[in-house]
Structure 1
């Protein structure tokens, strides 16, 4: 009996220890969840407080937003400019930072960017409003000479990710890979591309394909036919020689170009859980759909129809393959890895439990997985908002006095003094440094920012205008922005009745508005050459501020302008400074 008593005591102690351990695990998860809720509430409160200070609480989707992009005025709806979530572009135009944004003397948001590239981005966003998943918008498009500034803007605003171009013989321009990237992103496979198989190198045979591509995870197949089509497919299931069909819930087919192809098109599965999404056999290369929708056999690709994939612009028939490439595509798991490190640093270990009953283990581990995902999302929200705030402070805010309007031989360009002074000891930096710019009298406050006191002072100095008019302006608390909008009826309602005084005041307001708008610095040089210099300086400043990753590439100059460009560069950047721009 003593042994039984000891055994019972031991059993009870073990059970109690088990229950305590299980309870501790659950309490740890409860505490983890509580901290996540606290962090989310703090972030929401922080956003609210900053928005109340810097934001426009009346911002609405239908607002027309006026943007001065390097001297060119662009107008778009707020809803159009904020379509792409989780981007710095959306942050600028969301309304949350309106009071902090740099504005020109007309009150428009000023962005020191290449206007042609900015217009291309807005055109892309405009097209997005009338596009669909089956017919996506074209990426921002510019002439070859502007591709570097455009890419810098895309990186700057985070609109389209900087994609590391794969080693492809078929697709050589980034625009097409951006389209593929967007499609892959939906399947969380927007990481790096690793070339597994190339027909011209490894042979256009089924055996070569399987020897290089089986059991490699997610893959992207790109095919160029002898008739000029670029088609392919993506599978998130590894290829094999099983002789069976397989599900691949993120699989899709695509066509990028061809003689009768109007625009790139993605064809997703009709049923996500289709068990015939892909077919695996040594008799064939990559094969998609039951039937098959698209099947590679040696040096041929056959397209039969829409068995498992949605209708699209893939033309049926048998085509000869000119080149085929298969890339392994890695999944984007960086946020989860970052979250795991963050959790570990907080003392919460994300390892699964195994010591309890299977049902309890499963429940605890399931909750851990959910909390890990929530931690990743929370970390992303926090980092995104911090990055957004830093971006606005570094790039989109500033003093309106530092906006420089340039008349470059008749072409209006606008930039900031900081951009013009990017390369120290240059002629531009010396011309627009603090002391000289102040000496030019350009440190006056923009009219639209005048206070009622400044309006009163201005009115008092108008020769022939009765002092009572300036008093009326002051008593009505007229600001500079309001002054520029006053009409004859407004002036009469304010109490100015004498016809001569009304006419004189309106004339001076008109002159003031014109003067504040038209003040420019004249630059007697080729607009083409100076514009290229300005683009280079902007990108160099973006890099200096840590807003883009790489140093700007050398400007792309057309042959007819190369000699003139070299001369203008050497004029503004004597000595070694010119080498950085000319190469």
Structure 2
């Protein structure tokens, strides 16, 4: 028999990562084990569900019993009936898999709906946390929701050069006064991103095909000035990353609950050493009666 392997296995106080069994590899190289410092449990369920989900109408035909073979010799009938039963079970297993894939697709569509502009990367005292505005605005009357509402968010500057795509970099190069057309083409043909643009040096420009020293000097000066003027447009959250992360996880789960994807999340459990900071965070974003939105 083949040993059943998982991408993540939790055993006591350790977790082992060995990607590639369930999902494609690439997240980590090889099998690694890490110690668990803290674990938050959202739901405990049986390994095998005790209730069978109802079969969708379009799949119900698969589970109908096939008529047993009786027209041949007894031994042949028995052999045919065994084959029919095996095929019926195989059809049932395939249909259940199709149903699970349908459910998973529905979950992904509901969870990942929206536009990329609504994905927010927060700078929480130097730690970057990504989420969606929908999660941050799940409690509409909170200070946090107002900070990321449509009117305020539309006025946020989007000037982070590091996030530029190759088309934006090419457009910038075309606007550099005095930059030869050949150099603009080099930038465009190499599909340079914003992050790559800021890392270019003279050696890299030579390898890309920019040969004239004067052109390289001009381009490097413009890149340096661009980097100096570039700002990180990630909203700054002056808060302990652990504390804000606890609140953010709760907001995410509350949003999923609103979508009907998970059960109601429990109120965050915070380490005793960070409890005061967490209470202050709630008081800041949910002052007065607004705090009841979170605590219930």
TM over 0.5: yes
8 Å CA contact retained: 1:350, 1:368: no
Q: Which runs of 5+ in 2 are unaligned?
A: 1-16
Distance 1:496 1:397, change over 3 A: farther
Of 36, 61, 65, 1:350 maps to 65
- Say whether residues 1:163 and 2:68 are aligned partners: no
Distance 2:125 2:230 in 1: 20
- Note the C-alpha offset of 1:366: 1.2
Paired residue for 2:156?
Answer: 440
Distance 1:470 1:436 in 2: 39
Distance 1:503 1:551, change over 3 A: farther
Paired residue for 1:573?
Answer: 286
Q: Which runs of 5+ in 1 are unaligned?
A: 1-76, 85-89, 96-108, 110-121, 128-136, 153-161, 165-180, 182-189, 193-331
Distance 1:510 1:83, change over 3 A: farther
Q: How big is each residue's C-alpha offset from its partner over 1:397-417, in whole Å with a ceiling of 9 and x where there is no partner? A: 764433323233444433232
Equivalent position SS for 1:439 = coil
Paired residue for 1:375?
Answer: 91
Higher relative contact order (CA 8 A, sep 6+): 2
Paired residue for 1:403?
Answer: 119
Distance 1:532 1:435 in 2: 27
Paired residue for 1:557?
Answer: 270
8 Å CA contact retained: 1:555, 1:581: no
- Say whether residues 1:543 and 2:257 are aligned partners: yes
- Note the C-alpha offset of 1:533: 0.9
- Note the C-alpha offset of 1:389: 3.2
Structure 2 length as normaliser, TM-score?
0.71
Aligned residues: 278
RMSD between aligned residues: 4.2
- Say whether residues 1:522 and 2:226 are aligned partners: no
Paired residue for 2:3?
Answer: none
Alignment of 1:56-205 (within 5 A): 80-84=18-22, 90=23, 93=24, 126-127=31-32, 141-143=36-38, 146-148=39-41, 151=42, 162-164=44-46, 181=47, 190-192=48-50
Q: How big is each residue's C-alpha offset from its partner over 1:443-500, in whole Å with a ceiling of 9 and x where there is no partner? A: 889744231xx323312444x6535466334663634366456553442355533434
- Note the C-alpha offset of 1:543: 2.6
Distance 1:443 1:455 in 2: 12
Equivalent position SS for 2:121 = strand
Structure number with greater Rg is: 1
Distance 1:349 1:399 in 2: 43
Distance 1:515 1:569, change over 3 A: farther
- Note the C-alpha offset of 1:558: 3.0
- Say whether residues 1:505 and 2:216 are aligned partners: no
Q: How big is each residue's C-alpha offset from its partner over 1:25-44, in whole Å with a ceiling of 9 and x where there is no partner? A: xxxxxxxxxxxxxxxxxxxx
Distance 2:154 2:255 in 1: 22
Structure 1 length as normaliser, TM-score?
0.40
Equivalent position SS for 2:294 = helix
- Note the C-alpha offset of 1:382: 1.8
Distance 1:360 1:438, change over 3 A: same
- Note the C-alpha offset of 1:373: 1.4
Of 413, 417, 437, 2:129 maps to 413
